[in-house]
Structure 1
Amino acid sequence: MKKVFIKIACSFFIILLSAIIACNPRNKTPSNESILDLNLKQGEIAVCGPADKQFGLVGFGTSCSPKVQKDFDLAMALLHSFEYDEAEKVFAKVIEMEPDCGMAYWGVAMSNYHPLWTPPTLLELEKGTKAILIARSIKQMSKRESAYIDAIAGFYEDWEKVDHHARSVRFEKGMEKVYRDFPEDNEAAIFYALSLVASASPADKSFKNQKLAGSLLKDLYSKQPNHPGIVHYIIHAYDYPQLAALALPAAKEYSSIAPSSAHALHMPSHIFIRLGLWQESINSNLASISSAQCYAEQMKMKGHWDEEVHGLDYLVYAYLQKGENIHAKSYCDYLDSIKEVEPVNFKVAYAFAAVPSRYVLENQLWDDAANLKVWEGFPWKGYPWQRAIIHFTRLLGSVHTGQLNAARIELKTLYSLHDTLENQKDVYKADQVLIQIKASQAWLLLKEGKQEDALKMMRTAADMESKTQKHPVTPGEVLPASELLGDMLLEINRPTEALQAYEVDLKQHPKRFNGLYGAGQSAKQSNEIDKAAYYFQQLIAIAPNSNRDELKVAKAFLEKNKLGI
């Protein structure tokens, strides 16, 4: 009831503000009351990098006075690295110095949209809407600036009635118009590229939007090599197995362009992981985690910043692929010790579910998987997709330890979480849980002695997953369905088919530890000596410091067959 009252009150304010603006078309400087009502984030920004090169270089011309230009450009650089809270602080500073700088309110609206992340909250949507109304009340702006404001206004318009993706498409169309109308404006091209990636359909396997975005950005890269948005959005545009190699140069540069941004330090690992560059991913996330810890300290947070937790997810994943369990376990334990995070959000929920799940599943610690414990005080009810990971892990652990009744109970929970996501009309996440359901059913059928039914169901799960891209928040599925299919085929002594499944998986998830080992074992059992050697040699190359037993098997095979290690 309280939430409804707040929403009605905020809606009334927006209507009232619109009426005031409509009745006063000559209004130039917003009132102090309307600015205060935005409840803007305030304060100094945190700087955790070298003094001479912090967030990259952006030059965004506006009709605002020269006295605010430096701060405006800094806010833009922060915005391009998704440092949304810090960007809003600097836009707020610009507003304080010059309340009739219309583009500063545009910046506030952009800071509360955050494309490619989770949709804005109710409060963020209301703040963005109010900022746009104020921006439109200021008449001393260029046609270009008005076009920018119109583009983001399309995202906020009718947000109570129109879904997030449809409004993201509106923003894309709005930015396309800005790009077409002002071809000399590089920022228009950069934001248009971002809007293309944000509005891309997950079902489009031609990657039309992403390729167009990448093309626009690569044309600008040589002209503005220190622009954070260009390299950042190249990474996002090509964050797919089929395209990742195209983003490798940008991934190698981004951290040096914006070293004070924890997100900029982390983001290259998206591409490194796509290409199986595990050590590079480890280095990237160690730097990001350190920067995030510095940020939390400077902001005097009671707990940890969400960017640190996000980096831990990617870090543990990379350590597991190198078979370095000691390091992986130490960071799992460190995550488990964290009891306060700011803010609590979707990526925090994902990390707290995925990190411990990955550790036990990748190492086939089935007893630990069946009895997986996670942070009990966390508000899991609000995150059904992430919560499903926990129950999927427990289910696989129960299946592999012969506790089929316990597994069936976990399966019922997965069904319930899937229904919740469907009722929320979150099709992507509902499908992700459905893949887990299919895989779970397959392993239950296998343990019930129904091999062909099990394989049919597991192939269905693998086929579904092959048609679904991973969410940007995650380094990858906790266990890829195609890899699980290979595991199942190997378990029932069908190594030739298992090899085919692992090879399909390795195209999507190159150099995964278990994928390489499974492929090597399948080839070995199929008497394909050269293929077995190929996969075992790759395994040894990516995991030179691992003490996992799989390395002993691989080395013994190569030595027995007098093949090089």
Structure 2
Amino acid sequence: MKPVLLLLLALSGLLSAACRQTSSSTPSQAEINAIGLKRGSITMCGPATGPQLGTAAFGTSCPSAVQPDFNLALSLLHSFEYDEAEKVFARVIAQEPACAMAYWGVAMSCYHPLWTPPSPAELTKGAKAIALAQRLPGKSARETAYIQALATFYQDWERVEHKTRALRFEQAMATVYAEYPQDHEATIFYALALDAAADPTDKSFVKQKKAGALLQGLYPGQPNHPGILHYLIHTYDYPELARLALPAARQYASVAPSSAHALHMPSHIFTRLGLWDECIASNLAATESARCYAASAGLPGHWDEELHGLDYLMYAYLQQGKTQLARAQWHYLDTIRQVSPVNFKVAYAYAAIPARYVLENRLWKEAARLPPRPGHLNWEQYPWQAGIIHFARALGQAHLGQPDSARREVATLRGLQEALLQQKDPYKATQVQIQLLAAEAWTLLAQGKAEAAEQRMRQAANLEDRTEKHPVTPGEVLPARELLADMLLQLHRPQEALGAYEANLTRHPNRLNGLRGAAKAAAQSGETVEAARYQQQLRKLATVALNPEAAVAHLSLYRRP
């Protein structure tokens, strides 16, 4: 055989092998189907001109034809519209099954940092998607870095706890950020990873401040980037830092009005700063958008995001003394029979909305017999949320002079705390412990054991001061230090009560009961100037509650289309 012919045969064999390798490395349809991708057209509610989600872009090695969809999915991802983002990433995969970054996008949609840890089903899906992304050839070094960073989160997820894997992702994204300092998306996702891995007990806010500096550095040049605005709000969602996020909070909803979550998120900062009018406007828009989404997407019942916004609405109305409108949230909640999906924030809203109303209004008889609603919800799956109901009952019974009944509620709280410790959920166990200590304190006071009661109440307040609230809630159903102030006032120690009220108002500005208590304590202490100052704040804050007819008219806003 001639040398030239031998050479051609060898080259042909090499090309054939290369083709076979490329073909085998592209996921089969069976492998793609095994991921269990969400599919279908995206559902968005908002401006009639079409989806408005801000501007985010990520150059990939995938064909240019799918780049607009990839950027759309990225914008949805940055606003935590995870289901819709996954649908668009799935659409990219359907067009270009070899697009590695689309599988990365699916895995990111399953992670949802800053929220609840992924379920086993989500972790399984994310792990399958990121494994396919790792296998695919033709990726750039930058894309490989992103994929490998996310793979550290999914690695050994069956055996390694969520917190450890979140820390691994943070460290991996630090490397990506260092290797690609001009890549703005690397900076943004690194900031997100820092926030997700931050220690909730770290009062120096080391990681949050680092994330904030990174995002603030990008903000002037990209004022319409949904991730920058969104993550600035989360980064600074603390009493000590909240004012730094106010510009982002006042811009985010206008940048991404098609996202119900983007409409709601600014209210985190408005709540922290006691800006109740803005908080109410934010959540009226968000809950309306959530109802529209549920109807448009054909969800069975209501969307979970709506109930989240209702809890924030309840809290804000109560702080303005709008009792009828606050009560309307509870009445409306009682009409909701089905929610999709049922999860921890749905259970939280079902527990917190009625508890807030009865406790803030000092309706001790209603609090003492507050039932867990809806009855069909499996409350055993949600010990933290169930604890809110028992906390409200204990306070109601203690204030009615029923310490024996209150002690039974305290015992239940102790059991719920133990359940959370067994589940290795220390944060939620601590939240129940705070309520347990407070409930025990008021039970002891009802028994005439003032010294022991004060000791327990101080323990609760100090423990709460060392922890931060979860993003699921606008605030504690009753702040522990405010409860301590109430107790000191009841014990005829107004000067000490005033100090406790003032400390609580620093962390919870413009709380109606905090201002009322401070005004009363100041007056009883002979602090006439301080009493007048608090009375002035109350007149400015507490608008006259609307009449029942206005409340009924307002309730029409909540009727599902």
Does the pair score TM above 0.5? yes
1:379 positional shift: 1.4
Alignment-derived partner of residue 555 in structure 1 = none
> Structure 2 matches for 1:183-262, cutoff 5 A?
183-262=181-260
Which amino acid in structure 1 is aligned with residue 27 of structure 2? P
The Cα of 1:53 is off from its aligned counterpart by: 5.7
Q: Paired residue for 1:34? A: 31
Q: Which runs of 5+ in 1 are unaligned?
A: 1-22, 549-565
Separation in structure 1 between the aligned mates of residue 387 and residue 287 of structure 2, nearest angstrom: 26
Q: Distance in 2 between matches of 1:250 and 1:466?
A: 26
Cα distance between partner residues in 2 of 1:345 and 1:125: 16
Q: Distance in 1 between the 2:298 and 2:319 partners?
A: 35
Work out whether residues 27 and 137 of structure 1, in 8 Å CA contact, stay in contact via their aligned partners in 2.
Answer: no
RMSD: 1.3
In structure 1, C-alpha distance between the alignment counterparts of 2:489 and 2:431, rounded to whole Å? 25
Q: Shift of the alpha carbon at 1:47?
A: 2.0
1:546 CA displacement: 3.5
Cα 1:438/1:535, change in 2 over 3 Å: same
> Superposed, which structure 2 residues align to 1:269-348 within 5 Å?
269-348=267-346
Q: 2: CA distance between counterparts of 1:411 and 1:457?
A: 13
SS in 1 for 2:35: coil
Distance 1:301 1:250 in 2: 31
Code of the residue aligned with 1:485 in structure 2: it is L
2:472 corresponds in structure 1 to: 473
1:310-359, Cα deviation, whole Å (9 max, x unpaired): 00000110000001000000111001110100000111111000000000
Q: Show the counterpart of 2:175.
A: 177
Q: Secondary structure of the residue that 2:262 maps to in structure 1?
A: helix
Deviates more, 1:376-385 or 1:353-362: 376-385
Distance across 1 between alignment mates of 2:208 and 2:22: 40
What corresponds to 2:425 in structure 1?
A: 426
What is the letter of the counterpart of residue 171 of structure 2?
K
> Is 1:519–1:535's contact at 8 Å kept on the other side of the alignment?
yes
SS in 1 for 2:454: helix
TM-score by length of 2: 0.92
**What is the CA–CA distance in structure 2 between the aligned matches of 1:24 and 1:243, rounded to whole Å?**
53
Using a 3 Å threshold, how does the CA distance of structure 1 residues 78 and 547 change in structure 2: closer, same or farther?
closer
Residue 463 of structure 1 aligns to a residue whose secondary structure is helix
CA distance in structure 2 between the aligned counterparts of 1:378 and 1:319, rounded to whole angstroms = 26
State the alpha-carbon separation in 2 of the partners of residues 346 and 299 from structure 1: 21
Question: Match for residue 140 of structure 2?
Answer: 142
Partner of 2:528: 529
Distance in 2 of aligned mates of 1:389 and 1:463 = 19
Q: In 2, Cα distance between the equivalents of 1:30 and 1:99?
A: 7
- Give the secondary-structure state (helix, strand or coil) at the position aligned to 1:222: helix
Contact 1:28 1:140 in 2 (8 A): no
**How far 1:449 moved relative to its partner?**
1.1
For 2:221, what is the secondary structure of its paired residue? Answer: coil
Deviates further, 443-452 or 96-105: 443-452
Calculate the TM-score normalised by the size of structure 1. 0.92
Whichever residue aligns with residue 187 of structure 1, its letter is E
Q: Please say if residues 196 and 213 of structure 1, whose CA atoms lie closer than 8 Å, have aligned partners that are also in contact.
A: yes
- How much identity, in percent, do the aligned residues show? 60
1:45 aligns with 2:67: no
In the alignment, which residue of structure 1 is the partner of 2:379? 380
> Does the aligned pair in 2 maintain the 1:45–1:89 contact within 8 Å?
yes
Q: Counterpart of 2:111 in 1: which secondary structure?
A: coil
- CA deviations on 1:269-317 (whole Å, 9 max, x unpaired) are 0000000000100000000000001100101112000000100000110
Residue 493 (structure 2) aligns with? 494
Give, in angstroms, the shift of residue 543 of structure 1: 1.2
Could you tell me which runs of 5 or more consecutive residues in structure 2 were left unpaired when the two chains were aligned.
1-19, 548-561
Distance 1:103 1:333, change over 3 A: same
User: Residues of 1 paired with 2:128 and 2:24: CA distance?
Assistant: 16
Q: 2:78 aligns with which of 54, 77, 80?
A: 80
Q: Which runs of 4+ in 1 moved over 6 A?
A: 23-26
Change (3 A) 1:96 1:26: closer
Question: Greater Rg, structure 1 or structure 2?
Answer: 2
